[in-house]
Structure 1
């Protein structure tokens, strides 16, 4: 059989591919293709023993305890950003605002420091260049000028310069005896010979927060404002958080304290998973079920397709967050019917971080603003490296809650009891 391209939708086959222990299915986008891999030394673009070493070094930094301990910083950053968002009847695209917020949240978690506006702009420019390149169907001959490739190269170099400077400042903090205050422990203990990896890793992780997290939050807000009855339920839950004990011992967070917000996020991730497509290359002739796969074939896996399969989800194209509320759906779903964070040993290391921090950001937004979409919402999906939402426009009107205006203040917008709750994390 000739090599070819195959779309795999069976949860059983997807599990066999993602849990491959025999190196039959190799990650697509190898470092040899430098035009498409911006940071080849990062974990997501590494393989074999090199990948295993780096993943093990990073794993403790993304434990539930570690990512929960960063929620207070995320809360403060979110409130600071929201206080600067322009309110009024004019609709504006919410995604760029969320991009900036998610970038700052990622930098704070990774290095316990904020980067300035110009540094943030360098990474946003890189994100745009990557998105354009992954959508570019043209592969020009070597001797012809490729505008998108040139733009990507320039943006990548600028972002790496920013990253190297940020890591140098982190090293200076460490030299001054402030290592315990830094975010990522793998940075603290890294040697100089790890400089290329650390730079690539920082860039890849910041982009992983900036683009997928902002996309997921924008889709969630779009879906909520398109379904006012669901929006009312999630907002009411946010307003009642003062009476909820959501911080537990040891700094971990009980997501059950946000059932409506969490369910809305899960449903947004089901309908519009940012990581909507991934692939593997077949290393050797093999079989998958009753199918023969030749070496060199490509197998593609799309959470977007599986998440909308009527075999697993009733009314699969409808936004129904309540399907996630009682836990029965999760108990009966096949393992790879719903997998917004991938799977296998390469499952997204930032899953806990993303879910917890996106939930908190969503709650903060809904407590501060009344969200009003235009009379005709024309949001569109732009499938590239992530499933980016386009034209999610909302008017942000300040809310009045518990006797105070929620917008236009630099103070924490939670009620006094909620403020105390967050400070306990």
Structure 2
């Protein structure tokens, strides 16, 4: 039985996770020493990790490390605490809201290019480039040149490919995927170092107030490596999770014309003068339908669909014994689509979020697209706010329609990447720009 679970999980993880929704128990054994945990109360124990038992998986020494070991997301212990405290002020509600004006300028520039480009295509790729620019502008106060952007887009594809490998080759075999990843990572880090250096120079000028300013006076080798890794990790967090979330939202909206019309109606309800003045940008208050649609898309297709922890020492998790060295996996995909927590869980129903009380009524880990505990995504508010705003900008300028025949697929890798989301882009004659 365990062998069957292991094979199915590795080759078709989403099918396996969907099957787990019908299992009453809060833990499923995938193989010896590897467990899938779905009980909200047990997930809380793992993610809050009050006894330092459940440690972040992966290490900087891992030969197949796909991300950046010095970054916040791959740090642990006191090192993680120091970095988190250093970065927290740059993700306050006020700081996030202040970045919307720049996001608007960048988004409108991209949409102008969409309007003069091909009339239909893969919307994810367009959104990748847009989110890349938005992330870089927020972090460093500038965007990358075309060569720098290409380096990060190549790296993003290499990471997705590597993290979807169901079978790892023996170490003595030539692994083309790992070689490609290593090469792409080094190219992106070179771009990052140059961008950070330029930002540091700009920081010294009067009136500069960019993200790198919080750390520009750090000159040790360790801090320089951290800054490089941090920038790379955060830019990738803009490229993949944000573009995936927006792509899934647009796919679901265009597949449900009645919902799409409600979102468009509230977008159009904001007058041209209010829009030009930036009315409602800080909290997206005039756009509850757009925000609800985004939350529902994140429920059905959480970009961070799987995370894991390693058990540091023998422990009991509820009524279950876990030996030291075991691994536990947590997937929002299971709980987000569970009939225990959501009516009609497989249906796209943004109205469930409209009264603003659902999250308060749910168990804490029934809906958690941004993780939880002390390691909850530091960019959660940034992502939600800026994705909702980008969505509004797109719908204000374009009518979107899917081709008559299209096959959309969820590709479960490091991020739940949407494949095959092709949309026709038709400029709106009434767009107020």
Query: What is the TM-score with the length of structure 2 in the denominator?
Result: 0.89
The reply on whether 1:93 has 2:122 as its aligned counterpart is yes
What does the per-residue CA deviation read over 1:82-136, in whole Å, with 9 as the maximum and x for residues that have no partner?
0001568853110000000000000000000111111100000000000010012
CA distance in 2, matches of 1:54, 1:44: 10
Q: Which residue of 1 aligns with 2:218?
A: 190
Q: Which residue of 1 aligns with 2:7?
A: none
- Change in Cα spacing, 1:190 to 1:257, as seen in structure 2 (3 Å) is farther
SS of equivalent to 2:199: helix
The reply on whether 1:157 has 2:191 as its aligned counterpart is no
Q: Which residue of 2 aligns with 1:138?
A: 167
CA distance in 2, matches of 1:4, 1:14: 17
- Confirm or deny: 8 A CA contact 1:89 1:397 kept in the other structure: no
Which range moved further: 234-243 or 342-351?
Answer: 234-243
What does the per-residue CA deviation read over 1:43-100, in whole Å, with 9 as the maximum and x for residues that have no partner?
0000000000001000000001001000000001000000001568853110000000
Q: Which residue of 2 aligns with 1:395?
A: 424
Q: Which protein, 1 or 2, shows the higher relative CO under an 8 Å CA cutoff with sep ≥ 6? A: 1
Q: Is there any run of 5+ residues in structure 2 with no aligned partner, and where? A: 1-28
- Change in Cα spacing, 1:88 to 1:255, as seen in structure 2 (3 Å) is closer
Which residue of the other structure, out of 196, 202, 205, is the alignment partner of 1:176? Answer: 205
Q: Which residue of 1 aligns with 2:351?
A: 322
What does the per-residue CA deviation read over 1:12-58, in whole Å, with 9 as the maximum and x for residues that have no partner?
00001000121110111222214224310000000000000001000
CA distance in 1, matches of 2:274, 2:256: 28
Which residue of the other structure, out of 364, 367, 374, is the alignment partner of 1:345? Answer: 374
Q: Which residue of 2 aligns with 1:70?
A: 99
Deviation, structure 1 residue 375: 1.1
What does the per-residue CA deviation read over 1:221-277, in whole Å, with 9 as the maximum and x for residues that have no partner?
0000000000000011111123898999xx982343210000000000000000000
CA distance in 1, matches of 2:107, 2:42: 40
- Confirm or deny: 8 A CA contact 1:25 1:281 kept in the other structure: yes
SS of equivalent to 2:302: coil
The Cα RMSD (Å) is: 2.2
Which range moved further: 138-147 or 337-346?
Answer: 138-147
- Change in Cα spacing, 1:64 to 1:361, as seen in structure 2 (3 Å) is same
Query: What is the TM-score with the length of structure 1 in the denominator?
Result: 0.90
CA distance in 2, matches of 1:390, 1:129: 16
User: How many residue pairs get matched?
Assistant: 402
SS of equivalent to 2:211: coil
Deviation, structure 1 residue 141: 2.8
Q: Is there any run of 5+ residues in structure 1 with no aligned partner, and where? A: 407-412, 415-425
The reply on whether 1:238 has 2:250 as its aligned counterpart is no
Q: Which residue of 2 aligns with 1:286?
A: 315
- Confirm or deny: 8 A CA contact 2:97 2:283 kept in the other structure: no
